[in-house]
Amino acid sequence: MNSVEFSNHAENRDHQAVSLPRRIAHLDMDAFYASVELLRYPQLKGLPVVIGGSRRREDMYLERLRQIDPDKDWQNAPLSDIPVEVFPRLKDYAGRGVITTATYAARQFGVGSAMGLMKAALLCPQAVLLPVDFEEYRKYSKQFKSIITDIAPVMQDRGVDEVYVDFTNTPGGQREGGRVLARLIQKSIFQATQLTCSIGVAPNKLLSKMASELNKPNGICILSEEDLQTKIWPLACRKINGIGPKTDEKLKSLGITLIGQLALYDPNELITHFGQNYGRWLFEAANGRDDSPITTYSEPVSLSRETTFERDLHPASDKDRLTPIFTRLCEQVSNDLKRKGYLGKTVGIKMKYDNFKTVTRDQKIDIATDDPKEIRRYAGELLKRVDLTKKIRLLGVRMGSLVKVGEWGAEQGSRETRPEEGLNQELF
């Protein structure tokens, strides 16, 4: 093949690639946190299980296990040996924690993510309650995403348990509308992790996300433009990612409850009620139109850690509890920065009082840092700018204005921390 023929061949090949119908997949791990816990505790499979509340303590079951069988070496026994009756039940929970996720067996009782554990206990008191273990979830998250990019490299990370993947030019991505590639990814993830996922494939991100919800769990849904009226229009407007409860209530006041009704509504009227940009977007979304690209990488704006207390704590009388909690938050933010390779130039704190009022304070610092002592020192200074006479229900620490380690302006020197400014200082 001469150079002219090669050039023409390449142009034809590129033209064919560009002209392929767009196929975007949304992959959502099924009840991800709960599924990871069931790998650890297979004896709980099929039971209603709720994840939430306090963080994991390694010895949380040992005392009860020793009462059941004092002769057994429970310290070194496999977790699958723990009898089901040893696990705490939702009915015995007291506090203000919320559900992170729940197994499908628990969801049948109306229990769901972000629901208060006390409320969930009324709906499903027999549910097993397990604490969260974010370190374990991140491990599996990294594993399944690595499997995906080995098969289909154009992936947009959307959180610990979901991603968008561009199937358009990936081998197998067009076969059966993307079903062949979706099956391969599902099978590969399950073989490596024993975890299931649901995948929706559609012409764009908006439709693919809705599609991934239609055949859960462990399902595949392929949508084409021809399926819009039969599969999407009968759904409630809240199924569109980007329509929240306030917008949904306003749409209902206009007599719009289903996506199909929104798609046929006068767009000028939507603009009148919701503004130029959002009103137009509502109409376009209801009609299945979305040109947003797959973004394979984006720089984080900030990194933060926060915790909600089981009971309200007072900065004076509960200082001994608040001080180590504040220390841990600073250390966690520091570890997050180091793990991701960033330094921060803005330190912030967040505080929610017992009356649910939230306050935040931020401070620019001269030298970008990931040092936990520096983060704590500046965060401690910010505490002087908030009201510490009221009880607190939530406390958080944030680092913003992030710069990559090694980039210009990221490291301008270091500051020697005096002993009294170390991590053991009292901040309340």
Q: CA–CA separation, 293 vs 204, rounded Å?
A: 9
Number of helices and strands in the chain (H, E)? 14, 13
Q: CA–CA separation, 140 vs 37, rounded Å?
A: 11
Any idea which residues carry the catalytic annotation? 162
Q: What order of strands is seen across the sheet that includes strand 128-132?
A: 99-102, 49-55, 128-132
By the 8 A CB rule, do 118 and 53 touch?
no
Q: Are strands 302-313 and 220-222 parallel, antiparallel or unpaired?
A: unpaired
Q: CA–CA separation, 270 vs 218, rounded Å?
A: 37
Q: CA–CA separation, 168 vs 146, rounded Å?
A: 19
Q: What order of strands is seen across the sheet that includes strand 155-157?
A: 155-157, 162-166, 24-29, 197-202, 220-222
The backbone region for 382, taken as left when phi is positive above 0, alpha when psi lies in -120 to 50, beta otherwise, is alpha
Q: CA–CA separation, 343 vs 365, rounded Å?
A: 11
Q: Which residues contact 197 (CB under 8 A, 6 or more apart)?
A: 27, 28, 29, 30, 144, 185, 186, 189, 218
